[in-house]
Amino acid sequence: MTIEYQFTRHLLSCNNIDKGKNYLKYMPYFNFKKDFEPGATIFGILKTIEYAEKNKEKFKSNQVYVSNLYRTWITAFLLYGCNLPQSSNNLQQSSNNILTLYISPYLKERHNFKRGNYPKEISHMAKKFLKFLNALKSIIDKNNPNNIWKKYPQILKLKLPPKPYSSQEIQENQEIQENQEIQENQEIQEIIYKRTDCGYDIEKYCNIEDTAGPNKGDVTQFLTTGDLQKFMDWFENDNENENENENENENKKRNYYKSSNEENKIIHVVTHSHIMRDYLKKFTFHTSKDTSNETPRLMSWLKKTKTKSKDYIDIDENEKIQAIVLPNDDKDDKDKTRYNLLNLRNSNLWNFITTKDKYKKKNHIEINDIVGTFQLRMGVPQPQGEEKDNAKKKEEASPLSLCGETGRLGPNSPPLNNTVCPADGGKRTRKKRPKKKTKKRRKIKTRKRRK
pLDDT, position 78: 97
| Domain count within the chain | 1
User: Which neighbouring-strand residues pair with 285?
Assistant: 365
User: What is the percentage of the chain residues whose pLDDT exceeds 70?
Assistant: 64
Q: In sequence order, what E strands does 137-245 have?
A: 155-160, 189-195, 200-204
Is it the case that residue 268 has pLDDT exceeding 70? yes
Mean predicted lDDT score pLDDT of the chain: 76
Identify the sign of the CA torsion 114, 116, 121, 124: positive
User: What is the percentage of the chain residues whose pLDDT exceeds 90?
Assistant: 37
Residue 72 lies in a domain: yes
Residue 328 lies in a domain: no
296 in Cβ contact with 312 (< 8 Å): yes
Is it the case that residue 136 has pLDDT exceeding 90? yes
What pTM value is reported for the model? 0.81
Of residues 432 and 131, the one with the higher pLDDT is: 131
Residue 209 lies in a domain: yes
Residue 217 lies in a domain: yes
For residue range 401-425, what is the model confidence (pLDDT) as tens digits?
999 888 888 766 665 666 677 665 4
pLDDT, position 216: 82
User: Which neighbouring-strand residues pair with 410?
Assistant: none
pLDDT, position 312: 34
Residue 60 lies in a domain: yes
DSSP 146: T
| Average pLDDT estimate for 153-172 | 79
Residue 210 lies in a domain: yes
Is it the case that residue 246 has pLDDT exceeding 60? no
370 in Cβ contact with 320 (< 8 Å): no
Decide: residue 219, CB within 10 A, 0-12 exposed, 13-18 middle, 19+ buried.
exposed
pLDDT, position 447: 58
Residue 286 lies in a domain: no
Q: How confident is the model at residue 85 (pLDDT cuts 50, 70, 90)?
A: low
CB count within 10 Å of CB 137 equals 19
Q: How far apart are the first and last CA of the chain?
A: 87
pLDDT, position 433: 43
Residue 62 lies in a domain: yes
Domain around 262: 4-280+383-407
Is it the case that residue 223 has pLDDT exceeding 50? yes
For residue range 44-60, what is the model confidence (pLDDT) as tens digits?
999 999 999 999 989 99
Rounded Cα distance between 114 and 342, Å, is: 28
3 state SS of 65? strand
Is it the case that residue 326 has pLDDT exceeding 60? yes
Rounded Cα distance between 53 and 78, Å, is: 10
Identify the sign of the CA torsion 128, 132, 133, 135: positive
Q: How confident is the model at residue 169 (pLDDT cuts 50, 70, 90)?
A: low
For residue range 348-397, what is the model confidence (pLDDT) as tens digits?
999 999 999 998 877 677 767 778 889 988 899 999 999 999 999 999 89
**CATH code, 158:** 3.40.50
